[in-house]
Amino acid sequence: MAKLVPTVKTTYTSSELVKGFIDGWQTAFNETPSKQSIGVLYAQNGIETGGSGAMWNNNIGNVKLANMSEDVEYFALSHTWEILNGVRRVFEPPSPYCNFRSFPTLAAGMAFQLDFLKNHRYAKAWGAVLAGSCDQFAQILHNLRYYTAPPSDYARGMNAYFAKYIKSNAYDQIIAGETNIPNIVIENPEGIDFNLGLNIGIDDDQQADAGIDPNDAQS
């Protein structure tokens, strides 16, 4: 049975996040990732959590609890929104829409997210990670119902994070073992919603296990 734990904000600097993705990739795949691949992962975390400003319990990609019978920890987040049948709806606990996976450390959250994207339901999007394409990544994830926000908004937000990351030297400095790396500053002149997370879709079987009506969850 899944265990409910306190909701804790887990905020990190941009360099800590980039280093976390690089370390996680090297641990999981025994290779050094490309700067572009890390950029896609960093950008997704950015659009999902506002650059970790709204990241909770080390959940890198706002992944929901799929099955209450799992032996895992989760937290319940208030004011969780979904776009269902074209309408934005807000949910409160104990709605299953509010239940998200919880991880004790950043490293644990990174390990889960990398495995989650590469080896499971969303594996079709992994090629976009390898290609360094935020546009492809956003579209494929939307097709697979990872999130319910408009894919154009998701991609636009990701590309804003990706562009700032690519222009920075954070990746190169971390690979070189440097410290005291400047933060990656994200400006928002176009009013992009940098917290499009909390609205991740899960597949029909998982929705049924979690007590969510699959018909209601289609957008």
Write the pLDDT tens digit of every residue in 59-69: 998 899 988 99
Q: How crowded is the C-beta side of 203, counted as CA atoms within 13 Å?
A: 7
> Which has more pLDDT, 201 or 130?
130
pLDDT at 3 over 50: yes
How do beta strands 73-76 and 87-91 pair?
unpaired
CB 29 within 8 Å of CB 130: no
183 confidence band (pLDDT: 50, 70, 90): confident
pLDDT score, position 203? 36
Nearby residues of 48 by Cβ (< 8 Å), 6 or more positions away: 55, 60, 61, 62, 195, 196, 197
pLDDT tens string 36-63: 999 999 999 999 888 888 899 999 988 9
pLDDT for residue 147 is more than 80:
yes
**DSSP classification of residue 209:** H
* Nearest one of 39, 18, 15, 29 to 164, comparing CA atoms: 39
pLDDT tier, 193 (very low <50, low <70, confident <90, very high otherwise): low
The domain locations on the chain are 3-217
- Give the end-to-end CA distance of the chain in Å, rounded to a whole number: 29
Q: What is the pLDDT of residue 87?
A: 86
Which among 167, 194, 192, 148 has a CA at the least distance from the CA of 48?
194
Mean pLDDT of the chain: 85
